[in-house]
Chain A
Amino acid sequence: MADLSKEELLDMYYDMVLIRRFEEKSEELYQQGKIGGFLHLYIGQEATGVGAIRALRPEDHFFTAYRDHGVAIARGIDIKGLMAEMLGKATGVSKGKGGSMHLASREHNFWGGYAIVGGHLPLATGVALKARYNNEDFGVLCMMGDGATNIGYFHESLNLSAVWNLPVVWLVENNQYGMGTAVERASGVKEIVKKAAAYGMKEGPRADGMDVIATYDAVKEAMEYARKTGPVLMEALTYRFVGHSMGDPERYRTKDEVREYQEGDPIGKFGAALTTKRKAKKDELVALDKKAAEEVEAAVRFAEESPEPVYEDLFRDIYV
């Protein structure tokens, strides 16, 4: 945490807590029938999202898949608009047209959550092409699950990014299961970063995705390499504490396995590191926990009081 100020460290801690509270509340609202569709929670993976997104510069761009609430929050997008989107309200970031899986914010260079596995990889390639085409100094962070690394888009996008030397960091959030299929049951290559060799691409690290600072450092270095030189494939090794989506019976893993990972909870670990290294006092962290819960409550209130989209909205924004 050498290059991070106390304020930045506390901000990161706050974002992780805010994500956790946001997700817990989302689960509750889903059970009440207020959130519909599919809901994929980020609980357990907060260190990966916060570490990675905090490593970006404001001018950098990023994409992710459908487990997208955490990175949106980490980028500093107002959670009122995010929660309103989850509730399908006209005030949502995507005006109630996208839902949980399709959050985005143009002004934050967040190009969205994408529900087609791997579907965003070529889009990220295209945005990165603009940097080279116009000689602009930005990079693109393209996050994906481990499952996306077996799809055709992965091959075609990584290959083209290497051929054209595009400034992309391909960050695999390896939570060890693509839905319920373990990485080793789905991929011939067990260490996903090794796939970089197939494209003549820089093989990045397998960062500890349960450690926010380790992820931050690794992504920051990878982004610097990508902007200057070309694409990088890296992993953040992480774990989701909850099911793939709501209603996952979790037959593919044991309760003991989940419990073991929960003992290394990334928020608890980071909080402890902050106090041990005297970057924060316990009370400060407790105060942040309370503030996050309040911010989530306020977002829910905003979302619930917001208007629904109307019939006419069905026909808006089909074409420019």
Chain B
Amino acid sequence: MATPAITTATKRMTIREALSQALREELYRDDRVFLMGEEIGVWGGTYAVTRGFFDEFGERRVRDTPIAEMVIAGAAAGAAMAGLRPVAEIMTINFAFLALDAIVNHAAKVHYMFGGQFSCPLVVRTTTGGGRQLGATHSHSPEIIFAHFPGLYVCCPATASDAYGLLKTAIRNDNPVLFVEHSTLYQKRDEVPAENPDYTLPVGKSNIIREGKHVTLVSFSKGVHICLEAAEKLAQEGIEAEIVDLRWLRPLDTDLLIESFKKTNRMVVVEEGHALFGVGAEITAQVTEKAFDWMDAPIKRVTTIDAPLPYARDIEQMALPDASKVIAAVKEIL
């Protein structure tokens, strides 16, 4: 395939389209790249990211699997160790618990445990997030659990352009990456540098997506959009919030957020996981250690409440973080 000329032109697309385009381009770029997972082929992907791929690439490259998460992740890890570049799909992150051993005990450890003899350039794509009335086992956001382990990377894009660049980064990286998409963001649109097939973003670098001087909001994935909504409303009251999108939970980049904190002296961390041992807990610890002298108020956390998520619509929404909770947290510390 001819490589299109690199331009700075962008195209407005949804996260779904951006992911789809990134996968398609990587499949064309490198024959070692292949996809495997449940319903990704004939069905077209449960979130329609791989719609049309089966006809375009055939069953060698787009491999439907049985409903068997242990072997989806484990066989993809083995294929990666053997030199292929698998992108395995686990339909939702809740199912990834079934694959926890393959991802955490094996994909993340083989390089180290055998003294560097093997590498595991694996991408596991999966979907996280609540708010869709799916009940307790299908709605939590446990991506932070995976970020606990050295040897693995965890990437959680919030925008279409990031989804595009970060997925390419993940596929081209020689380490295992858990790539976590949010189930309610697939229709979000923004400008994607989609005419540059080599558009990648660095591993473990966060991004300031809105500048402000009064408070620093730190988040990732859907939380970034909650922060943007909160920041808009706060701006109407003259409060300028700076927003740091972590993009990666591991490697965790704290440089930008600490720089921002030194300017605003106040911080709210927003995440859809539970608070206990979460992203906010970790960031609070690091900011306290590295920038205590700049701290004018306690760091606040806005998270899902400490309960499993229910089915009933109204109370599920009450359990999740939203812009009003972020605004309330900001006002508490200003």
Binding site for B on A (CB under 8 A): 61, 92-98, 102, 104-106, 111-112, 114, 116, 119-130, 133, 152-153, 156-157, 159-160, 163-164, 316-320
B81, A111: Cβ atoms under 8 Å?
Answer: yes
- Binary contact track B87-123/A, C-beta < 8 Å → 1, others 0: 0000000000000011001100011111111110100
A-B contact pairs, 11 of them (CB 8 A): A98-B113, A106-B114, A106-B117, A119-B105, A121-B71, A123-B75, A126-B84, A127-B78, A133-B34, A157-B75, A317-B115
Residues of chain A lying within 8 A (CB to CB) of residue B117: 93-94, 104-106
- Binary contact track B30-70/A, C-beta < 8 Å → 1, others 0: 00001000000000000000000000000010010110101
Residues of chain B lying within 8 A (CB to CB) of residue A106: 114, 117-118
Residues of chain A lying within 8 A (CB to CB) of residue B144: none
Closest chain-A Cβ to B279's Cβ sits at a distance in Å of 21
Name which residue of chain B comes closest to A125, CB basis: B75
Residues of chain A lying within 8 A (CB to CB) of residue B115: 92-98, 317
B84, A160: Cβ atoms under 8 Å?
Answer: no
Q: How large is the interface on B (under 10, 10 to 19, 20 to 34, 35 or more residues)?
A: 35 or more
Contact of B84 among A116, A130, A157, A319 (CB under 8 A): A130
B119, A320: Cβ atoms under 8 Å?
Answer: yes
A122, B77: Cβ atoms under 8 Å?
Answer: yes
B83 CB within 8 Å of chain A: yes
A129, B79: Cβ atoms under 8 Å?
Answer: yes
In angstroms, Cα B78 to Cα A128, docked, is 8
In angstroms, Cα B72 to Cα A220, docked, is 29
B258 CB within 8 Å of chain A: no
Closest chain-B Cβ to A289's Cβ sits at a distance in Å of 32
Other contacts beyond A157-B75, A164-B63: 5, CB < 8 A = A112-B110, A119-B106, A126-B74, A130-B79, A320-B121
Residues of chain B lying within 8 A (CB to CB) of residue A152: 70
Binding site for A on B (CB under 8 A): 34, 60, 63, 65-66, 68, 70-71, 73-84, 86, 101-102, 105-106, 110-119, 121, 150-151, 153, 174-175
In angstroms, Cα B68 to Cα A257, docked, is 40
Residues of chain B lying within 8 A (CB to CB) of residue A129: 75, 78-79, 82, 84
Residues of chain A lying within 8 A (CB to CB) of residue B80: 126
In angstroms, Cα B261 to Cα A303, docked, is 52
A318, B111: Cβ atoms under 8 Å?
Answer: yes
Name which residue of chain B comes closest to A319, CB basis: B175
A122, B102: Cβ atoms under 8 Å?
Answer: yes
Residues of chain A lying within 8 A (CB to CB) of residue B150: 318
Residues of chain A lying within 8 A (CB to CB) of residue B79: 126-127, 129-130, 133
A156, B70: Cβ atoms under 8 Å?
Answer: yes
B111, A319: Cβ atoms under 8 Å?
Answer: yes
In angstroms, Cα B76 to Cα A123, docked, is 8
Residues of chain A lying within 8 A (CB to CB) of residue B68: 156, 159-160
A116, B105: Cβ atoms under 8 Å?
Answer: yes
B82, A126: Cβ atoms under 8 Å?
Answer: yes
Residues of chain B lying within 8 A (CB to CB) of residue A95: 115-116
In angstroms, Cα B70 to Cα A96, docked, is 29
- With A116-B105, A122-B78, A157-B71 as given contacts, are A102 and B113 in contact (CB-CB < 8 Å)? yes
B84, A133: Cβ atoms under 8 Å?
Answer: yes
In angstroms, Cα B34 to Cα A103, docked, is 30
Closest chain-A Cβ to B266's Cβ sits at a distance in Å of 34
A126, B113: Cβ atoms under 8 Å?
Answer: no
- With A97-B115, A105-B117 as given contacts, are A159 and B74 in contact (CB-CB < 8 Å)? no
Contact of B151 among A116, A124, A160, A318 (CB under 8 A): A318
